[in-house]
Amino acid sequence: MKFFSTNNRTKKVSLKEAVLNGLASDNGLYMPEEIPQLPKEFITDLPNKSFQEIGFEVAKAFMGDDIPEERLKKIVEHTISFEAPLVEIEPTIFSLELFHGPTLAFKDFGARFMSQVLGYFAESQKQEIIILAATSGDTGSAVANGFLRVKGTKVVVLYPSGKVSEIQEKQFTTLGQNIIALEVKGTFDDCQRLVKEAFLNEELKQQFFLTSANSINIARLIPQTFYYFYAWSRLKNREEVVFSVPSGNFGNLTAGLIAKKMGLPIKHFIASTNANDIVPNYLETKKFEPRPSLSTVSNAMDVGNPSNFARMLDLYNHTFELLSNDITGFRFTDDETKSAMREVFKNSNYILDPHGAVGYLGLKKYLTDHPKSTGVFLETAHPAKFLEAVNETLGQSISVPEKLQVFLSKEKISIAVSKDFSEFKKLLERIL
Ligand SMILES: *Cc1c(COP(=O)(O)O)cnc(C)c1O
């Protein structure tokens, strides 16, 4: 299968190129030339298949021509080496817990899959591959941990100074080896811009083999479709299934739209955001108006210019009516988010993290008007990843899993850098 850029549908590249380039040279995002249709029997048989079997079949539909089956099977098994339980917290409201991976956030799925796919392509590549990753928190830890010790690769994580939690920061600043952390004096949008500029900079491209690992990389997106199929198949009532996706860059939601287009009968999607409500605004006004991001309690979703929006438009042929038919947008304040965390803890004895809480709120609101639907919200991070916010909100100390404790006890090592591109470029030339 070939992949095109959202800025030019006629110029197609191989999977290897799409994965290694990350971003197309015209600044567009790669998309598969067609969304493969899975047979009806595959869908009806989903409840009898394991999560890994489902993941393999879905991955094969996109990558079967380019990666040998046995290797792809191994890549999927490595990616899905942990559970994604569907937990009923109220009648017709389910939490899809995507945080049981090594860094306790859903980004482990994309990062682990991508690191293995890249590792496969790196084998036929002489130059070391440099992965540039801008992070608002969880990408950095998932990518850094996914690539740790992968041969032929080096990871540079850019993160906004003071805008990620201590636990998040420790997960990518304490690894060493082939992982470098850059602490940027700016916002997440600044980090994202520096990465984008680096990819377009001829001098850097001459010296280094650069690639991205943000949700813009197609190898991050594809594995995120797996759990929509899996979650849908594990519900008892599959008549009118809706997914609420707490969103920032909209990679997770885009993956759900792709799953639907492949034939999974999802009835509707809810784009749930914090105050960074660019997409809910678009769904109300037909106007896409990016603006600087605002800081919120769900900081991994503080994105002012959601990059996957270009893919969403492409999936719906740039037709507002089609897109808005499948997606409803809601935004929630920090106060609403914290109240939801308290309510759900009190009524269901279930601890939401601030991101999952936004997803829960969106679902709850939608179900009020659609009582026949069954709802799943994606719980994208373990609550202990946002320890201070959760403890403060619930008024008690929740327990921290062993996996996180280990990171906390290690020493942070990072390099400070301004948000100025020329300074960033000089630094790269010095340290790589
Ligand atoms: C990244 C992230 C999100 C947002 O996901 P997108 O695919 O960027 O929309 C939501 N919750 C958590 C915990 C995250 O780390």
pLDDT in tens, the chain (432 residues): 999 999 999 989 999 999 988 888 898 999 999 999 999 999 999 999 999 999 999 999 999 999 999 999 999 999 999 999 999 999 999 999 999 998 999 999 999 999 999 989 988 888 999 999 999 777 888 899 999 988 889 999 999 999 988 888 999 999 999 999 999 999 989 998 999 899 889 999 999 999 877 668 999 999 999 999 999 999 999 999 999 999 999 999 999 999 999 999 999 999 999 999 999 999 999 999 999 999 999 998 999 999 999 999 999 999 999 999 999 999 999 999 999 999 999 999 999 999 999 999 999 999 999 999 999 999 999 999 899 999 999 999 999 999 888 999 999 999 999 999 999 999 999 999
In a domain, 2, yes or no: no
In a domain, 255, yes or no: yes
| Binding site membership of 56 for ligand 1 (Cβ less than 6 Å) | no
In a domain, 334, yes or no: yes
Two tokens, residue 141: 């830890």
Buried b (16+ CB within 10 A) or exposed e, 235-270: beebebbbbbbbbbbbbbbbbbbbbbbbebebbbbb
In a domain, 407, yes or no: no
What pLDDT sits at residue 10?
A: 93
CATH number of the domain within which 252 lies: 3.40.50.1100
| Binding site membership of 248 for ligand 1 (Cβ less than 6 Å) | yes
In a domain, 329, yes or no: yes
| Binding site membership of 134 for ligand 1 (Cβ less than 6 Å) | no
Whole-number Å distance, alpha carbon 271 to ligand 1 midpoint, is 12
In a domain, 166, yes or no: no
**Spatial distance between the Cα atoms of 59 and 350, rounded to a whole number of angstroms:** 33
Whole-number Å distance, alpha carbon 356 to ligand 1 midpoint, is 10
| Binding site membership of 97 for ligand 1 (Cβ less than 6 Å) | no
Residue nearest to atom 14 of ligand 1 (CA): 300
What pLDDT sits at residue 341?
A: 98
Q: How many of the other CB atoms lie within 10 Å of CB of 177?
A: 11
Helix residue ranges, H only, 4-102 = 15-21, 40-44, 51-63, 69-79
What pLDDT sits at residue 218?
A: 94
Global confidence as pTM: 0.91
What pLDDT sits at residue 275?
A: 98
- Ligand 1: residue of 301, 382, 386 to mutate (most ligand atoms within 8 A of CB) is 301
SS3 for 376? strand
- Among candidate residues 16, 40, 74, 107, the one labeled active-site is 107
| Binding site membership of 309 for ligand 1 (Cβ less than 6 Å) | no
| 107 flagged as catalytic | yes
In a domain, 177, yes or no: no
- Helices 138-147 & 107-122, crossing angle to 10 degrees? 40
What pLDDT sits at residue 151?
A: 86
Whole-number Å distance, alpha carbon 55 to ligand 1 midpoint, is 20
Two tokens, residue 356: 């999952």
Domain extent for 99: 77-104+221-394
In a domain, 380, yes or no: yes
Number of domains in the chain: 1
**Spatial distance between the Cα atoms of 139 and 103, rounded to a whole number of angstroms:** 10
Whole-number Å distance, alpha carbon 123 to ligand 1 midpoint, is 31
19 phi, psi to nearest 5 deg? -70, -45
Residue nearest to atom 2 of ligand 1 (CA): 300
**Spatial distance between the Cα atoms of 418 and 27, rounded to a whole number of angstroms:** 23
Specify the pairing of strand 374-379 against strand 93-97: parallel
Specify the pairing of strand 129-134 against strand 209-212: parallel
Q: What is the largest CA-CA distance in the chain?
A: 59
| Binding site membership of 380 for ligand 1 (Cβ less than 6 Å) | yes
SS3 for 156? strand
What pLDDT sits at residue 166?
A: 86
CA of 384: how far to CAs of 192, 398, 418, 429, in Å? Answer: 26, 7, 30, 37
Whole-number Å distance, alpha carbon 187 to ligand 1 midpoint, is 16
**Spatial distance between the Cα atoms of 117 and 179, rounded to a whole number of angstroms:** 18
What pLDDT sits at residue 215?
A: 66
